[in-house]
Amino acid sequence: MGGCDEVRLKVMVLRLVSCLLILYCLSACQQVSVNAPNKESLIDSIHVLDDAKANSNFAEIQRLGSTQQFTRQEHLDRVDIRSGNSVIWVKPVFSQQVKKNKNYILEVGRPTLDKVSVYKRNVDGSWKTIKTGDSVVFHNREIIHEKFLFKISGPALKKFKNSIFLKIQNQGITSSTLKLLEESEFHHDDQQKSLLAGLYFGVLVALLIFNLLIFVSVRDVSYLWYVGYLGFILLFLFAYSGLTYRYLWPENPGWANRSTYFALMTSMALGLGFTRSMFNLTELFPILSSFLKSTGMAIALLAVFGLFVDNTFSSFVTPYLALLVILIILLAIVKAVMAAYKPAYYAGLGFIFLFAGSMMVILNKVGVLPSNVLSEYGLHLGVLFEAFLLSFALAYRINYINEELKLSNQIVMKARKQFSSRLIDFQDQERKETSATLHDSFGQKLLVIKIQLAQILESYGIQEDDSKVKSITGLIHEVIDDVRDISHALHPHQIERLTLKEALEDVIFQSFRDTGLKYIYDLNGLEECIDSKSKLHIYRIFQESINNILKHSEAKNVEFKSRVVNQNIEIIIKDDGKGVVGQSWFNNGDFVMAHGISNIRERVSSLNGSIHFESGQRAGLEISIKLACKKEV
């Protein structure tokens, strides 16, 4: 199987597996989204107080809890944080459906909030404070989970009206879901989401490994860029979902925060590198390629710099860098599409999915879009579709490159054939002119010399049978014969006065008559198939083959055949000589210089024919030539 066929097979397998995995993910996602509405919302309303100066203590907030200082939010399922570096106090009002004999879980769904404190009232009226957030050591959480979870007592909720207050502090504008679920319902819901998350990340990891293996196979650096880009996108999503903090560095909240921005900025730098390599920008748009390279290196340096400074720096520059990268990649896609670079279509569609998913999440966080599966998991879905489409683009790129290479090879072969054909025609024309010059000029002058010499000898009374005269005239005869033979060797004039069949029969007879070799010939279809322009090529092919047989084959029997089959003429030249070991050299074109094979091959090629050699040690040599008929038979 050829390399191109192997790549096509890999593409087919990848597409099949990808479709199945995407369908499975969407099915699982649909199951979660269908099941979610069946759980009754136990929060009737959410009231917030923006403590811009961050100087209010809980005692003051508790006193304000029954006043109009708290503003009721429109949404019942999330808390909107509209200003950065301030403190938001949240007072949820719970449904009358809360049961006294049940235990509940309060879920704050944004894992990347800096500080989250919960003040919850016990049944005896006392208050318990729990402080957590992604700036606090992970194991200090009341419930070990990537989200912020708090145990809530049903009896306290029923007994006191204002039984829960939350204090949220975060850098930047965002929002977070807020849910109160029965403990059993929460565990059921969490199990479904964990299963979906495991499937999601498993698919992306499998896709990463698959493309890494393809890189090992094809050694295309674009695959390595893709693997690096997808790897850091995965690390970012892990951090975005709170999983890196939970599983990788739970005792180091500072590194957990920095690694999120580091992974995101590094993925941007690698994404630019992937775009340069994927779209072949170095050749298509060198200036844009240099700009992408410089920008990628700058972003990579900023990512490393962000590891050693306060998180405020990274949180400030990341949105602007993301916007810059999006614009650059879109520009590259547009230019590649305008240049008819077909792999850019898949890649462009992939980046559109990622951009659309990211925008849905951003619009949800700023309160424009309501919370649902798409707005909550838009980034994850965008990354998933982008990863598959970029993988398709890479696979298509390999096919595209192979097709371009194949086309280039065809153009080169066509040009080579045209050059070879013109060179052969030029050589034949030169030989014809040289032959004519020898015959018409030198030959005639030698005859004149011979006649004038005879006249001079006669005028001086010298007899022609004189030994010296005989030597001189004999030498002149030899020169005349040599000139005639050279002239005929340079250009066989008999093909101009005889049919091709007669000319070939003549050259066969003249070549083998005094050699002792047995020869037979059965030449049919030559006049019907071979036009006048091709006659000389066929004659030369026979000449080269005969010369090869006489000089190298040590054959005793030779056979020449030609016949017409399905508008093609087949010519077979066969001997029973010593043969050639490793005839694959002939057929693969590696053994083109020996025994006139090069000349035969090039003449067949100039006639747009095919040639095959069959041989073996002491098995003789058979040359099979197939040519399309130049005339209708």
The per-residue DSSP string of 208-276 comes to HHHHHHHHHHH--HHHHHHHHHHHHHHHHHHHHTTHHHHHT-TT-HHHHHHHHHHHHHHHHHHHHHHHH
86, β-bridge pairs: 170
CA distance 473 to 9: 78
457 token code pair: 């000898």
pLDDT digits (tens, 9 = 90+) for 55-114: 788 888 887 766 567 888 877 777 877 656 678 899 888 888 888 888 899 998 878 888
CA distance 317 to 515: 92
Confidence bin at 360 (pLDDT 50/70/90): confident
Specify the range with the lowest mean pLDDT, choosing from 1-10, 30-39, 273-282, 509-518. Answer: 30-39
CA distance 132 to 128: 13
Specify the range with the lowest mean pLDDT, choosing from 12-16, 257-261, 328-332. Answer: 12-16
Residues 538 and 617 occupy one common structural domain: yes
pLDDT digits (tens, 9 = 90+) for 119-165: 999 888 899 999 998 888 888 888 999 889 999 988 888 888 888 99
3 state DSSP class of 41: coil
Confidence bin at 199 (pLDDT 50/70/90): confident
Average pLDDT over residues 209-236: 91
Do 228 and 211 touch, CB atoms closer than 8 A? Answer: no
CATH number for the domain that contains residue 63: 2.60.40.2380
Residues 13 and 48 occupy one common structural domain: no
pLDDT digits (tens, 9 = 90+) for 81-91: 765 667 889 98
395: in domain: yes
Note the Cα 342 to chain centre separation in Å. Answer: 11
Q: Given this model, what pLDDT does residue 488 score?
A: 67
246: in domain: yes
Q: Given this model, what pLDDT does residue 8 score?
A: 54
- Mean pLDDT, all residues of the chain: 80
Specify the range with the lowest mean pLDDT, choosing from 22-36, 276-290, 448-462. Answer: 22-36
Q: Given this model, what pLDDT does residue 265 score?
A: 95
432: in domain: no
Average pLDDT over residues 281-310: 92
pLDDT digits (tens, 9 = 90+) for 585-604: 444 444 444 547 778 888 88
Name the DSSP letter for residue 484. H
Average pLDDT over residues 220-240: 92
Confidence bin at 33 (pLDDT 50/70/90): very low
Residue after which a domain boundary falls, among 129, 162, 188: 188
Residues 137 and 210 occupy one common structural domain: no
Q: Given this model, what pLDDT does residue 37 score?
A: 40
Q: Hey, which of 320-329, 490-499, 615-624 has the most confident mean pLDDT? A: 320-329
- Residue closest to 561 by CA, chosen among 548, 569, 571: 571
3 state DSSP class of 179: strand
Confidence bin at 53 (pLDDT 50/70/90): confident
Residues 375 and 229 occupy one common structural domain: yes
Burial tier of 541 (Cβ tally within 10 Å: 0-12, 13-18, 19+): buried
3 state DSSP class of 307: coil
Residues 210 and 152 occupy one common structural domain: no
Q: Who's near 470: CB < 8 A, 6+ residues apart? A: 464
pLDDT digits (tens, 9 = 90+) for 489-501: 666 766 777 888 8
496: in domain: yes
Residues 232 and 109 occupy one common structural domain: no
Residues 148 and 203 occupy one common structural domain: no
418 token code pair: 């045209």
9: in domain: yes
Instruction: Find the DSSP H helices in 339-372.
Output: 343-365
Residues 62 and 89 occupy one common structural domain: yes
Residues 28 and 49 occupy one common structural domain: no
Q: Given this model, what pLDDT does residue 232 score?
A: 96
Q: Who's near 498: CB < 8 A, 6+ residues apart? A: 506
User: Could you tell me the residue range of the domain that residue 510 belongs to?
Assistant: 492-628
Confidence bin at 254 (pLDDT 50/70/90): confident
Please determine, for residue 13, whether its predicted confidence score (pLDDT) is greater than 70: no
Residue after which a domain boundary falls, among 372, 387, 409: 409
How far lies 435's CA from each of 57, 476, 511, in Å?
114, 19, 20
Q: Given this model, what pLDDT does residue 32 score?
A: 43
Confidence bin at 304 (pLDDT 50/70/90): very high
CA distance 15 to 21: 10
Residues 205 and 255 occupy one common structural domain: yes
CA distance 247 to 252: 11
CA distance 354 to 349: 9
Q: What dihedral angle (degrees, nearest 10) is formed by the CA atoms of 594, 597, 599, 604?
A: -160
Q: Who's near 553: CB < 8 A, 6+ residues apart? A: 575, 577, 578, 620, 621
267: in domain: yes
Do 275 and 281 touch, CB atoms closer than 8 A? Answer: yes
486: in domain: no
User: How does 357-373 read in b/e, with b if 16+ C-beta sit within 10 Å?
Assistant: bbbbbbebbebebebee
- Cα angle for residues 297, 300, 306 (degrees, 5° grid): 140
Please give the helix or strand (H or E) that residue 105 lies within, else none: strand 103-108
Task: Quickly count: other Cβ atoms within 10 Å of residue 79's Cβ.
Answer: 22
> pLDDT: is 521 or 32 the higher one?
521
CATH number for the domain that contains residue 345: 1.20.1070
Q: Given this model, what pLDDT does residue 348 score?
A: 85
Going by their DSSP bridges, the two strands 174-182 and 127-132 should be labelled as unpaired
Confidence bin at 464 (pLDDT 50/70/90): low
CA distance 238 to 245: 9
Do 147 and 109 touch, CB atoms closer than 8 A? Answer: yes
Residues 138 and 205 occupy one common structural domain: no
Q: Given this model, what pLDDT does residue 443 score?
A: 64
633: in domain: no
pLDDT digits (tens, 9 = 90+) for 549-590: 888 888 899 999 999 888 889 999 999 888 775 544 444 444
CATH number for the domain that contains residue 587: 3.30.565.10
Average pLDDT over residues 355-376: 77
Q: Who's near 484: CB < 8 A, 6+ residues apart? A: 439, 443
Intra-chain end-to-end CA distance of the chain, in Å: 38
Determine the angle formed by the axes of helices 373-437 and 597-606, rounding to 10 degrees: 110
Q: Given this model, what pLDDT does residue 558 score?
A: 92
Confidence bin at 290 (pLDDT 50/70/90): very high
Residues 181 and 217 occupy one common structural domain: no
How far lies 493's CA from each of 17, 445, 507, 538, in Å?
69, 20, 12, 14
The count of domains in the chain is: 3
- For residue 483, the number of C-alpha atoms closer than 13 Å in the C-beta half-sphere is 19
Residue after which a domain boundary falls, among 375, 390, 409: 409
Q: Given this model, what pLDDT does residue 437 score?
A: 64
